[in-house]
Structure 1
Amino acid sequence: MHKALRPVLTAGFLVGLLAGCAATAPARAEAPTAVAPTPPGAAIASAHSLATEAGMEMIRAGGNAFDAAVAVSSTLSVVEPISSGLGGGGFFLLHDAASGRDVFVDARETAPASATPAAFLDEDGELDRDRATNGPWSAGIPGLPAALVHVAREYGELPLSTTLAPAIRIAREGFPVYERLERGYARRSQVMERYRGTREVFLADGDPPQVGEVLRQPDLARTLELIARDGADGFYRGEVGQALLASVAEEGGRWTAGELAGYEVREREPIEFEYRGWHVVTAPPPSSGGVALAQMLQILGGWDLAAMEEPDRIHLVVEAMRRAYRDRTIYLGDPDFVEMPLALLTDPAYAAGLRATIHPDRATPSDLLSGQPVPLEDDETTHFSIIDGDGNRVSATQTVNLLYGSGLVAPGTGVLLNNEMDDFALKPGTPNAFGVMGFEANAVEPGKRMLSSMTPSIIESDDKVAILGAPGGSRIITEVLVGILGYDAGLDAQQVAALPRYHHQWMPDVVSAEPDALSPGTVKALEAMGHTVNAGEDTWGNLQTVAWDKRTGELSGGTDPRNPVGKAEVLPEPATSP
């Protein structure tokens, strides 16, 4: 986080603001005096300025939020190979203003038929970490290209040849390498340089990517052109499909033409619930985020957080996190494969029961909660948020999992494959590379979608709409939670994006916090309650959010200051004071 933000946007600041809002804000029950029927323009926030600008290019061309989403998503797939791409997957939460319908487009990767539990064990019966995280065996069948085509054709107004044009142009002409790309490549170089196709992209000039150099990806531009021309067949069949199959086979993996060509997105009903006058729409399984968010917020809804001192408030939030992550581990998986008690897990009465188990001034040791020993993934994912002048909304999170995914680029395609297989419980009860543990609900099976923490969300009150989401692995869910609490406290979009973060995920039984997120006094008080606190972790996440004030008509955007290449843009630009 930028140091200038730390003294201002501390958890203590948020508590004070909560208290101030409680004292000065009008009662929620009051009828709005004037509510604008639609936003005055459009707002987009994404993790890279070129992607935000690509989305605005579609708005200016007469497209809607869904057209902008295709442009933003595909451009991020070019400029953020460290975080996402055509070889990965994602979730698109859409609100169609004309019908009032909310829909969740599930483009999560699927396991190939070769992905049996035994395939990921070494000769001693232990999880083979290298196979689970690197190269062809770590890659699921990609879902993002199918999502781009589906969103464009079902919800957009512009042809794919238009919405993919910015990404094609940037892939061909190149873009300047930024610090995170250089740093991430250095961390993953030994893996990435194993593969011929990866070397052809990232060592094209003879050395690794360096800040300021221009990274060109002509093969990726060609792949995007084929998708623009042929739709999903341009990726999953034909020359690109054959090249993907050949590359996986060349490196020792096994995909079939049938499972590649047979990939389909799923449209699912979002999870919806109420929190203190906000209607929350969020991600259903195979995301774990919406269920956990519903549990945490509905637990916290039983207390007046604004009236509490910082240690007491943080304690209760942490205890809500602890219980939600316990249930995440035990119950959640791919809804096409697993029966889950979703109605129970998201019921306010269930949340009330969990609330009753929380001691007001003592931590609950995680090993005393019923269940079996859960989550910590990498933060190299990306999110974008969009609202347009008709009121259409998009909250989308996409990923290739770890830094640069599997490290494997299929020669001739420019497509960097994901390593999402590591998000399965490949060996139930054994944590993955980032400490994420799971059991039978998330065990690997052919065609199954691995559990995710991506939590694209939309919240709406009488007078405001906010769209938000973030990367951060298992910490995504708590980032979104802290963001929603910030909006409820009256923060604006940029303040929400910059909020300091803290996190608990049941196992390990530790409160993680960014530097200066918790005051020394709060850390001491939490430890006296029985919490173990690590208050000096590196910053994490990359939250992107937009908001519409329905009473004033103001549109705003917030981009995470932890990421210097992100951009939030509003069209038309807000008027400035003379």
Structure 2
Amino acid sequence: MRLTTRLFALVFLFLPVVPLTAFAADGGEPPRQSLVAAQPPGAAIASAHDLATAAGFEVLEQGGNAFDAAVAVSAALSVVEPISSGLGGGGFFLLHDAASGRDVFIDARETAPAAATPDRYRDADGKLDRDRAQNGPWSAAIPGLPAGLVHVAEKYGRLPLGRSLAPAIRLARDGFPVYERLERGYAARREVMERYRGTRGVFLAGGKPPVTGQLLRQPDLARTLEALAARGFDGFYRGPVAKKLLDGVRAEGGRWTAGELAGYQVHEREPLRFDYRGWEIVTAPPPSSGGVALAQMLQVLGGWNLSKLDPAQRAHLTIESMRRAFRDRTFYLGDPGFVHVPVEMLASREYAAGLRATINPEKATPSDMFSGLPTPLEDEETTHFSIIDGEGNRAAVTQTVNLLFGSGLVPPGTGVLLNNEMDDFALLPGQPNAFGVMGYEANAPEPGKRPLSSMTPTFMVSPDRVAVLGTPGGSRIITMVLLGVLGYADGLDAQDVAALPRYHHQWQPDVVDAESGAFSDEVAARLRALGHTVKQPGDRVSGNASSHFWGNFQTVLWDRRAGELQGGTDPRNPVGKAEVRLRQGEPAAP
């Protein structure tokens, strides 16, 4: 489809395009990083589960670096957080190598099978078959996370892959205690989970669904991890494990091929970079939509000194920046291997200045003034972790299987719960997906194409401080990372950033969604007076009540001036853990 550029965007398309690093958002020069960077006093890891954080430190204590620890944490989360991520899904690894100063973005996003054409997702009335799009074999894309683990370990780690996977193998074999969120998530997806023999074999092994406190053992997953450890890429994508995956998908009516599995490739991409008020922001490029949107929002907001504004005015301007970034997300973003994504234009300082000029400081801009249709969404069941090691290497990693427990399908004998990322594509252009929103051809499925994502692993670097941050949360990931960046820019510590109350606007529907405590009664009233529709917990707007809380923010901070490390874990998640360990091995308070 030829994209029609809307009137407000046309004005700025003819401005000169300038590299992202050439300007500071407030009009100044980019920040100069210190030429003498002291090493951190130890290491810090923040993840969504204490067992995953412990796995990362176990590998660091064996001589591994942040990248080995990232493999360990990722694999451990794949075992203990099947509701959020796993070997059957994909993810993004944003890495910084301290010795070379290089940043790299590892794209291990899932890819569409050739058989997954749009006609496969039509029901008898020609509408989107929601069950097929979200559940079972047709909802599953080719997994990328195992290839990502191998790539990171072999190219950037110090330890053999087997050493980094050992904690996850142990957790899968010996089990871990079921926690309340896992029990609750299974109950929500039970009907789908229990359709499939392989899934019943894992989650009904004792004859009953998982219950908080009981041990969940996954021996088949342990054996799959052992194959990955022993044979690397071929241990998952070729050989016995691959055959079991293919047989399991075909037995349920799906159509994967051996060539699609064996042909999966990790892509290394150049991260996006831009400046915001003395911080260099390093973040995710397409097929993530998060980095481009973050660049747009922060560079729009860079025209105001937010710290000097009252809370209502600050929120108003922030919401208006969200509205504009999400509108562009809908029309322009997709897999850069398949569509042209005008990244330099969308993330440029000039384009942000043009967007800023359309904002009325005294009035909300109705979303229907920007012609178009709603934004594709990604579900909340994702996970993120952040790492800084004692050498200054760092990793920001966000990984997912999409919805709760992904597709619900475990091919027998693998222990691998497959994703349902096909629902992240615009399966039928103009047809609403499960969230009542629509997508277009830039994000339509094609063989080998990667679905658009909101995952936004991010670094912030200033002469004094270095932060690693990210979160799950579907389309809200982008706005949560935005608020986290603004929190660090305001001088908050890591735990305060992880705990920040959240609000979100995504252009369509034209509603500000807010957590409990995000706005005082006075601020909410002022936003409504400016023309915003504010939805808070208990309110019902368009038939849906707002959630009280969302996200699972994980962040670490190195204060280079003070010589301190901090970790921040989201207080909304009781099983998460942020931990700092000093070089001599003594624990430090996060």
Give me the TM-score of the superposition, normalised by structure 1: 0.93
Structure 1 contact 511–532 (Cα < 8 Å) conserved? yes
Q: Is 1:328 matched with 2:338?
A: no
Out of 219-228 and 371-380, give the one that drifted further.
Answer: 371-380
Structure 1 partner of 2:544: none
CA gap 1:574/1:304 in 2 versus in 1, 3 angstroms: farther
Tell me how far 1:37 sits from its aligned partner.
1.7
For 1:508-556, what per-residue CA distance to the aligned partner results, in whole angstroms no more than 9, with x for missing partners?
A: 1100000111011111111111110102132000000000001111011
Give a deviation string over 1:3-53, Cα, whole Å, max 9, x none: xxxxxxxxxxxxxxxxxxxxxxxx999999997521111110000000000
What is the identity, as a one-letter code, of the residue corresponding to 1:443? A
Distance 2:569 2:158 in 1: 27
Cα distance between partner residues in 1 of 2:93 and 2:147: 12
Kindly provide the amino acid, as one letter, of the partner of residue 172 in structure 1: R
Q: For residue 232 of structure 2, what is the aligned residue in structure 1?
A: 231
Alignment of 1:20-59 (within 5 A): 36-59=37-60
Which residue does 1:267 correspond to in 2? 268
Take 1:423 and 1:356, find their aligned partners in 2: how far apart are those partners? 32
- Alignment of 1:563 with 2:573, yes or no, is yes
* SS of residue paired to 1:434: coil
Partner of 1:501: 502
Alignment of 1:92 with 2:93, yes or no, is yes
**Aligned twin of 1:362:** 363
Q: How does 1:515-526 map to 2 (within 5 A)?
A: 515-526=516-527
SS of residue paired to 1:206: coil
* TM-superposed deviation, 1:428: 1.4
Q: Supply the distance in 1 between the matched residues of 2:33 and 2:271 (Cα, whole angstroms).
A: 27
Aligned twin of 2:347? 346
Following TM superposition, by how much is the alpha carbon of 1:375 offset from its aligned partner in structure 2, in angstroms?
3.6
What residue is the counterpart of 2:394 in the other structure?
393
Question: How far does the alpha carbon of each residue in 1:385-438 deviate from its partner, in whole angstroms, 9 at most, with x for none?
Answer: 001111111000000000000000110000000000000011112332234432
Q: Distance in 2 between matches of 1:31 and 1:373?
A: 40
Equivalence for 1:177: 178
1:543 equivalenced with 2:553 (yes/no): yes
Alignment of 1:134-153 (within 5 A): 134-153=135-154
CA distance in 2, matches of 1:264, 1:538: 39
Structure 2 distance, partners of 1:342, 1:32, is 25
- AA aligned to 1:553 is G
Task: Tell me how far apart the structure 1 counterparts of residues 286 and 31 of structure 2 sit (CA, whole Å).
Answer: 35
Q: Which of 562, 572, 579 is matched with 1:552 structurally?
A: 562
Contact 2:30–2:280, Cα closer than 8 Å, also in 1: no
Report SS of the residue matched to 1:416: coil
User: How many angstroms apart in 1 are the aligned matches of 2:89 and 2:249?
Assistant: 15
CA contact (8 A) 2:374 2:437 kept: no
CA contact (8 A) 2:469 2:554 kept: yes
The amino acid that maps onto 2:144 is G
Does the aligned pair in 2 maintain the 1:36–1:553 contact within 8 Å? Answer: no
SS in 2 for 1:154: helix
In 1, the alpha carbon distance for the partners of 2:378 and 2:290 equals: 13
The letter for the 2-side match of 1:242 is K
1:305 and 1:90 map into 2 onto residues whose CA distance is 33
SS at match of 1:477: helix
C-alpha RMSD of the superposition: 1.7
Aligned to 1:159: 160
Residue aligned with 1:542, SS: coil
**Partner in structure 2 of residue 186 of structure 1:** 187
Whether contact under 8 Å (2:377, 2:424) holds in the other structure is no
Q: Which residue of 2 aligns with 1:20?
A: none
Deviation (angstroms), 1:369: 1.1
CA contact under 8 A between 1:176 and 1:213: conserved in structure 2? Answer: yes
CA distance in structure 2 between the partners assigned to 1:427 and 1:315 by the alignment: 34
Q: Distance in 1 between matches of 2:389 and 2:193?
A: 39
Give secondary structure in 1 for the equivalent of 2:510: coil
Alignment partner of 1:161: what SS? helix
Deviations 1:35-85 (A, max 9, x none): 752111111000000000000011111110000000000000000000000
Counterpart amino acid of residue 180 in structure 2 = E
Q: What is the count of residue pairs matched by the alignment? A: 551
8 A contact 1:35–1:550 mirrored in 2: no
Q: Partner of 1:477 in structure 2?
A: 478
For 2:21, the equivalent position in structure 1 comes to none
The answer for unaligned runs of 5 or more in structure 1 is 1-26
In the alignment, the residues of structure 2 paired with residue 34 and residue 260 of structure 1 have an alpha-carbon distance, to the nearest angstrom, of 45
Rounded to whole Å, the distance in 2 between the matches of 1:264 and 1:414 is 22
Determine if contact 2:579/2:588 at 8 Å carries over to the other structure.
no
Give the C-alpha shift of residue 203 in structure 1: 0.3
Any conservation in 2 of the 1:374–1:431 contact (CA below 8 Å)? no
Separation of aligned partners in 2, 1:33 and 1:95: 16
How many Å separate the matches in 2 of 1:45 and 1:172?
24
Looking at structure 2, the residues matched to 576 and 337 of structure 1 have their Cα atoms a distance apart, in angstroms, of 47
| SS of residue in 2 equivalent to 1:473 | coil
Tell me the residue number matched to 1:14. Answer: none
In 1, the alpha carbon distance for the partners of 2:152 and 2:285 equals: 18
What SS is found at the alignment partner of 2:281?
strand
* Alignment correspondent of 1:23: none
Contact 2:288 2:453 in 1 (8 A): yes
Identity %: 72
For the 8 Å contact 1:286–1:333, the answer to whether it is kept is yes
Q: How does 1:293-332 map to 2 (within 5 A)?
A: 293-332=294-333
Residues 1:574 and 1:323: Cα distance change in structure 2 (over 3 Å): farther
CA contact (8 A) 1:58 1:71 kept: yes
SS of 1:409 mapped into structure 2: coil
Equivalent residue letter for 2:457 = P
Sort the Cα spacing of 1:238 and 1:545 in 2 relative to 1 into closer, same or farther, 3 A.
Answer: same
Question: Structure 1 residue 309: deviation in Å?
Answer: 1.0
Residue of structure 2 equivalent to 1:17: none
For 2:475, what is the secondary structure of its paired residue? helix
Quickly say closer, same or farther: Cα 1:152–1:443, change in 2 above 3 A: same
Using structure 2 for the length normalisation, give the TM-score: 0.91
Instruction: State the secondary structure of the residue aligned to 2:467.
Output: strand
Answer with 530-539 or 83-92: which moved more.
Answer: 530-539
Look up the SS of the partner of 1:222 in the other structure: helix
In 2, the alpha carbon distance for the partners of 1:262 and 1:33 equals 43
Q: Deviations 1:435-469 (Å, cap 9, x if unpaired)?
A: 44321110111110000000000000110000000
1:257 positional shift: 0.5
Structure 1 residues 273 and 264: alpha-carbon distance in aligned structure 2, compared to 1, 3 A threshold? same
